[in-house]
Amino acid sequence: MDVKMKIYQSSTPMPQVPNKGIYDLLFADTSFDDGQIVFKECFGDHKEISRGQLKLQLHRFGLGLQQKKGLKKGDVVLAILPNMIGFPIAVFGCVFAGLIVAFANPAYSEKELKHIANLVEPKAIATVKPLLKQITNAGLSIESCIIMDQPYGQGSTFVDDLLASESDARKAKAVTVNDLNETAYLPCSSGTTGLPKAVMISHRNMVSMLVTLVSIPHFYDKPWRAVAVAPFFHAMALANAVHLPLFKKGSYVAIMQRFDAGEFCDVVKNEKIDFANLAPPALRVLMAHPKVKQLNRIELMCVGAAPLDAELQQRAMDVFGCEIAQGHGMTETTVGTLGMQKKRKLGSCGPPMPGLELRVVDDDGNDVKQGERGELLVRAGNIFRGYWKNEAATKETFTDDGQWLKTGDIAVVHDTGDFSIVDRKKELIKYKGYQVAPAELEGLLLQHPKVAAAAVIGIYDKELVTELPRAYIQLKPDHKQEGQSNVEQLAKDLTEFIAKQTSSHKRLRGGVRILEQVPVNPSGKILRKEIRALAAKEENEKSPLQAKL
């Protein structure tokens, strides 16, 4: 080991990762007669499925793809699906058949869908009837679509017509995974800097991630009754809500298709939920909901996708009466790098997950001293293989020696061994040579009693030859009228609110804008490219709200 490197690791040892593919790990020792309910839809007809039924159905689905669609090992199936029991049937059916599953957000624009389809070139598309218009408008073939919810016709295939017979399915064997580095999944990156990229997740990546997750102290050391509201196509839910409950036998997942605070509280109560995984915006809504007391049976909430400051974390724990553990990860790490541990430093993401190695480096790649800011680098078995058909982007994402993933996140390591993510490297604002972290200002703005959500970007000022921090604000419902009738005063108040709490270079010299809603992706991350697009429209206009400081 290079003595100049300062490598951080978990104090918890990680068991040896089994030499198995995803199907063998999750289903090889599952009986078709296993009656333990593992997934239940908390909407519609409230369908549920047991482990044994899931195994049989995925066998039927995978065998049908081989026999009736002629798909062969290594072919790609694109899943454009909402949260539903059909999701794991389709995904694991493809894994059984040796196929690669690519994932697309059902809310993607036609342009984004066309881009993903052109990139991964799917031989089939698993979807639902309400999405067919969107899919065909993107130029994708209706004949390639397998409809998972109801018959449609017009050349599409209804799932019931695809499924192989039960007798054949019971006898069928999964396609052998000869190399655990074979790609299993192609989830999409957030695409905050352009069109989405397809992230190559191998069998080894997912198996390593699952072993890591169950090795975290007091995280998944027992089967949980969990509620899943994050979209399954997202890396966090794909690992934590779709795979992990099958790896940790005895687990149960109540599936929701969208977040509604009242419905969430009812699901927790009715399904006897004791574990939840949420984004910080959902915590805020739940804390103020009249049914919040129904959440008092939850033992552990895990939070990711966006920063959770120490004050909000403590208040949420007081309201919910349970531990709240933060985590950090990205699609390129299969899901996790840091945290998901109880009783760590409030406001931090916690320590490294078991089995991972982390470094914090400066712009020249040199390791910084503990307590100093730097980019977080990661090396582990759960680190992705690269971007599908994009060698240039892959090369840029790793260090020159190809050993370390450059997360693009700016981290600080505390003396407790806990890590805090203080910003994204590429999102840092430079004001006259001084670095301004948007996440810091966003965290402060969220403490203002009128602010529901906030996004901060840098606006380049040609006259001053520097970037100026600008805030985009979503007001709480009770104050939205004020955002229409008294905009200038509100902007002034928010500007002064920040000025009182920060050094001079962090003031909102770029001004304040009021939005109906701050745009975020399904995982709760701010869509800064959309914010920047709004700013671009004002490029040649002098804003009446710009602060003159």
Question: Closest Cα partner for 118 from 522, 385, 389, 395?
Answer: 389
201 neighbors 234 (Cβ within 8 angstroms): no
Distance of CA 485 to the CA centre of its chain: 37
pLDDT at 434: 67
Domain final position from 111, 145, 176: 176
Residue 32: count of CB within 10 angstroms of its CB: 15
Distance between CA 32 and CA 40 in Å, rounded? 18
Query: Residue 67 is part of a domain; what is its CATH number?
Result: 3.40.50.980
pLDDT in tens, 341-378: 888 899 899 999 999 999 999 989 999 999 999 999 99
Write down the pLDDT at residue 475: 93
What backbone torsions phi and psi does residue 89 show, to the nearest 5 degrees?
A: -60, -50
Could you tell me if residue 285 is inside a domain?
no
Supply the pLDDT for residue 510.
93
Quick check: is 207 in a domain? no
Q: Determine, yes or no, domain membership for 129.
A: yes
Count of domains in the chain?
Answer: 2
**Residue 91 dihedral angles phi and psi, to the nearest 5°:** -65, -50
CA distance linking residue 38 with residue 274, whole number of Å: 15
pLDDT score at 538: 80
- Residue 397 lies inside a defined structural domain of this protein: no
Domain that holds residue 120: 48-176
Least confident range from 19-33, 222-236, 406-420, 526-540: namely 526-540
Check whether 3 has a pLDDT greater than 70: no
Residue in 224, 201, 145 with CA at minimum distance from that of residue 21: 201
Last residue in a domain, options 140, 159, 176: 176
Q: What is the pLDDT of residue 428?
A: 75
User: Is 231 a domain residue?
Assistant: no
Q: How many residues belong to the chain?
A: 549
Across 434-446, b (16+ Cβ under 10 Å) vs e yields: eebbbbbbbbbbb
Whether residue 493 lies inside any domain: the answer is yes
- For 129-143, b/e burial (b = at least 16 CB within 10 A) is eebbebbeebebebe
φ, ψ for residue 35, nearest 5 deg: -95, 5
CATH of the domain at 505: 3.30.300.30
Are the C-beta atoms of residues 508 and 498 closer than 8 Å to each other? yes
User: Which residues pair with residue 411 across a beta bridge?
Assistant: 374, 421
Specify the pLDDT at position 311: 85
Q: What's the pTM?
A: 0.82
Question: Quick one: average pLDDT of 465-477?
Answer: 90
Q: What is the SS3 assignment for 456?
A: strand
> What mean pLDDT do residues 54-73 have?
98
Residue 511 has pLDDT above 90, yes or no: yes
The percent of residues above 90 in pLDDT, for the chain, comes to: 71
Is residue 458 domain-resident?
A: yes
Q: How far apart are CA 202 and CA 384, in angstroms?
A: 7
Q: How far apart are CA 79 and CA 124, in angstroms?
A: 9
* Last residue in a domain, options 128, 151, 176: 176
Distance CA 219, CA 209 (A): 14
Q: Which of 385, 359, 389, 362 lies closest to 373 in space, CA to CA?
A: 362
pLDDT digits (tens, 9 = 90+) for 231-261: 999 888 999 999 999 999 999 999 999 999 9
Cα gap 143→135, rounded to integer Å: 11
157 SS3 class: strand
Closest CA to 528 of 456, 460, 468, 435: 456
Look at residue 492 and tell me if it is in a domain.
yes
Q: If residue 514 lies in a helix (H) or strand (E), which one and from where to where?
A: strand 511-515
Instruction: Please give the residue that has the higher pLDDT: either 315 or 194.
Output: 315
pLDDT digits (tens, 9 = 90+) for 94-111: 999 999 999 998 988 788
Does residue 315 carry a pLDDT above 50? yes
- Provide the percentage of residues in the chain whose pLDDT is more than 70: 95
What the block records as the tokens of 546 is: 């710009």
